[in-house]
Structure 1
């Protein structure tokens, strides 16, 4: 309770939760005091400390060691902790939206974040490659079982969706090509359009984008959940390397799976185009295969297949890195899972565009 005598205000008795209602009424009547005598204070818990902070003010309570030096240390610490918890951050007025400097500063922050993100990616790629080189010379450290399991999850289980999607895209490309080429009397070149597009671009690009959305997100969620459950700390405590144990099998599995899926995507896309040619353009499958064998050089197939391991490596590394960056919360795991999908698709499309320019300049 609070006792007001002729000289000063005194806190008497227990300031605990059972007495909170009565104490709150007494504090409300006093409003704010410059100092309170705490010599006769009984028991004190968080609720009582909050009332004393309301009565004296956070700034006064933070200096309790000066004006109440005889108070036990644990009670001083409790009052200071409650006072610090009730500290309100200074109000920062929002910057005007029309301020060009504020917009430029925001753009600079975004660019800085992107630069830091790319530096982390480059560093993680270097760490992965160094661990891979160290593991290749020690066969007893290979994780063959984990590698086979990830090949099945990321490769074999993705065959139906990759085949279906590329088949439908091949049919659409053939329809669009026939619509345009019909005006020039050159519908026979629909075969060249479909084969060129799927051998060089669509086969590997669609497979990589599907794996970026399907597998990279799974890698991030798996590793992020392990970090949230402190399983990564347990692996390190046992002397195991998380990069060797978790990252390398996933990266190698993607580098094995994506070329296979790329080949399946190429075949499925050309099959969809061949069916459209057969039913809509009166180009028989025999004619389609003859034109494919006669007019389409092998280098276009090699160009498409050469991009598959690079795309697979980047997608897997980005998915694993975002998993390691997640914190111990479900929200963080979800945010980094989304980030891994966006980054993977962006990097795949960017590298595909750069590769297309390079091969065009080289005449390949």
Structure 2
């Protein structure tokens, strides 16, 4: 190649293999030479640069790397070449590219400890966020005319009314599955009639409100985080503060209250639809007439099972609304944070709901509502 650096091999007076380089050692021309030198099998003792007419940092780095690999001496360098070679050689770093890692039995506890420690800051943040919501709610109660009723009704429609089809379908199918699987197991003991008890109690106490909470967390909790997070990125939240409007009162409180109130209705609705699904299985597979199944529900399910579901539902709704709005308000930096915080909102809400459900199960058993 015209204008490219070339090399030749010979021996010097001491019998060492000498590599003589000629031509420019520049970033634009040193590539072919570097590839040829990588394939060189000779054991070099001297690198002669007296034939080099131009050199830059890349050329100096190639020569220093070659000299270090063969433990060779560089000779014949001009004044500029010497300065570049000294600078490149002094900038070398012998540090390990991959730092040493702790063994897995140390890394795992360390990672868990860091997560637990970070969780403390998250809990403090959520408690502080709840405090700001309560303060804003107190101001709205003192001034009822400023309450964002239209925004709350809109959120109730989005959280509740729009979710009726998907929650109804999910609950109906869950009722079918519980009734069918329960009947198969109870048939072994000749107790298929107890399928009514199984469907009624498990849907009203647990699965109806729990599955609804998980669905609302994935559907509405994520929407809260994404909507508020996007408003944070576009500085709409900062603009609201600038003109004297509280984001907690206009954005957070309507969403949290809507989620809390609508969870009660959605949880009860899901339980009823699941019972209907069980009644369909009773009619088709067990020979229990549809309306007889529903009448038996009233006889075998104690009223406190209904209250258990109704008490848990608003608490779950509050947790979901808080998680979605809290993570939405924590978005900052770039659009990637919106997706990250939306995921965190859903995961933390579902985790908190399941933990609280376990707590409620123990609590209601202790007070005699088991």
CA 1:30–1:209: 2 relative to 1, 3 Å: closer
CA RMSD of aligned residues (A): 2.6
Aligned to 1:331: 336
Residue 205 of structure 1 and its aligned partner are, at CA, apart by: 0.7
Contact between 1:204 and 1:265, CA under 8 Å: does it hold in 2? yes
Q: How far apart, CA to CA, are the structure 2 residues paired with 1:233 and 1:211? A: 28
Q: Secondary structure of the residue that 1:184 maps to in structure 2? A: coil
Aligned to 2:135: 130
CA 1:29–1:290: 2 relative to 1, 3 Å: closer
TM-score calculated relative to the size of structure 1: 0.75
CA 1:99–1:306: 2 relative to 1, 3 Å: closer
2:321 is equivalent to residue 316 of structure 1 = yes
TM-score calculated relative to the size of structure 2: 0.74
Aligned to 2:159: 154
Aligned to 2:273: 268
Contact between 2:268 and 2:309, CA under 8 Å: does it hold in 1? no
CA 1:55–1:116: 2 relative to 1, 3 Å: farther
Residue 290 of structure 1 and its aligned partner are, at CA, apart by: 2.6
Name structure 1 gaps, 5 residues minimum. Answer: 1-19, 33-53, 61-85
2:258 is equivalent to residue 253 of structure 1 = yes
Which structure has the greater CA radius of gyration? 2
Q: Secondary structure of the residue that 1:327 maps to in structure 2? A: coil
Aligned to 1:51: none
Match of 1:358 among 354, 357, 363: 363
Q: How far apart, CA to CA, are the structure 2 residues paired with 1:295 and 1:29? A: 85
- Residue by residue over 1:188-245, the C-alpha shift from the partner in whole angstroms, topping out at 9 and shown as x without a partner, is 1100100001111111111111000000000000011011111111111111111111
Residue 99 of structure 1 and its aligned partner are, at CA, apart by: 5.7
Aligned to 2:178: 173
Q: How far apart, CA to CA, are the structure 2 residues paired with 1:350 and 1:260? A: 22
Contact between 1:27 and 1:55, CA under 8 Å: does it hold in 2? no
2:139 is equivalent to residue 114 of structure 1 = no
CA 1:91–1:225: 2 relative to 1, 3 Å: farther
- Residue by residue over 1:14-54, the C-alpha shift from the partner in whole angstroms, topping out at 9 and shown as x without a partner, is xxxxxx99xxx76449959xxxxxxxxxxxxxxxxxxxxx9
Residue 159 of structure 1 and its aligned partner are, at CA, apart by: 0.3
Q: How far apart, CA to CA, are the structure 1 residues paired with 2:210 and 2:314? A: 12
Residue 133 of structure 1 and its aligned partner are, at CA, apart by: 2.0
- Residue by residue over 1:91-138, the C-alpha shift from the partner in whole angstroms, topping out at 9 and shown as x without a partner, is 785343426444432222111112211221122112212221221121
2:99 is equivalent to residue 94 of structure 1 = yes
Match of 2:229 among 224, 228, 233: 224
CA 1:239–1:152: 2 relative to 1, 3 Å: same
| Further displaced range: 174-183 or 98-107 | 98-107
Aligned length: 294
The structure where helix makes up a greater share of residues is 1
Q: How far apart, CA to CA, are the structure 1 residues paired with 2:296 and 2:122? A: 47
Contact between 2:172 and 2:274, CA under 8 Å: does it hold in 1? yes
Q: How far apart, CA to CA, are the structure 2 residues paired with 1:345 and 1:150? A: 20
Aligned to 1:199: 204
